Amino acid sequence: MIQWFNPWKILYVGKAANLRSRWSGKGHHKLKQALRKPGIRIHYRKTWTKGQAKELEAIEQRKHKPPWNDRIEPLSPSIFSKLMGWLISIPISIALYLILLSYWQTPKQIEQVQTFTGRW
């Protein structure tokens, strides 16, 4: 994960799989903008997976709201939201099961219906 900042504010948050390839060649798309500002520093954090880098980038963008980031990535569902999904879906599943169970007839009930109507 890459952060560009002046001494007072983080200006840009991004991620790169390979920093050397990201900064060589044509350069980063925000490089010209950064060279016009005095005192810009680049800070990076190493992550072990791409998913971890993406999650960290989203958290840092939400936390600092950097002005050079055009868009902010949405956070992936947290454990809390996943838990809430389970807590909502389980009672709904139980309610549907009970509704279906209320329509179930035992063999004795079927036999009573057959003797009453004389059919089956």
* Total domains in the fold of the chain: 2
In the chain, the DSSP E strands lie at 2-5, 10-14, 41-44
Judgement on whether residues 53 and 99 belong to the same structural domain of the protein: no
Judgement on whether residues 35 and 7 belong to the same structural domain of the protein: yes
Cα–Cα distance between 15 and 57 in angstroms, integer? 7
Domain that holds residue 107: 79-117
Side chain identity at residue 5, one-letter code: F
Structure tokens at 17: 């799989």
Predicted TM-score (pTM) of this structure: 0.49
Judgement on whether residues 13 and 46 belong to the same structural domain of the protein: yes
40 SS3 class: coil
Residue 42's pLDDT is: 77
Task: List pLDDT tens digits, range 64-114.
Answer: 888 877 765 555 667 777 777 778 888 888 888 888 887 777 777 767 766
Which of 38, 37, 15 lies closest to 28 in space, CA to CA? 15
